[in-house]
Amino acid sequence: MSYIQTIAPALLQGAIISLELFALTLIFSLPLGLPIALGENSKLSPLRWFCKVYVLVFRGTPLMLQLFFFYYFFPICLNIRMDAFPTAVITFALNYAAYFAEIYRGGIKSIDAGQYEAAHSLGLSRSQTLFGIILPQTFRIVIPPISNEIIVLVKDTALASAIALADIMKVSKSIVNRDGSLMAYVIAAAMYLVFSFLVTCLLERLEKRTSLYDGKEA
- Report pLDDT digits (tens) over 71-104: 998 888 888 888 999 999 999 999 999 999 999 9
Mean per-residue pLDDT, 98-120: 88
What tens digit of pLDDT does each residue of 6-15 get?
Answer: 899 999 999 9
Please state the domain count of the chain: 1
> DSSP string of 54-103?
HHHHHHHS-HHHHHHIIIIIHHHHHT----HHHHHHHHHHHHHHHHHHHH
Structural domain for 73, as ranges = 2-217
CATH number at residue 140: 1.10.3720.10
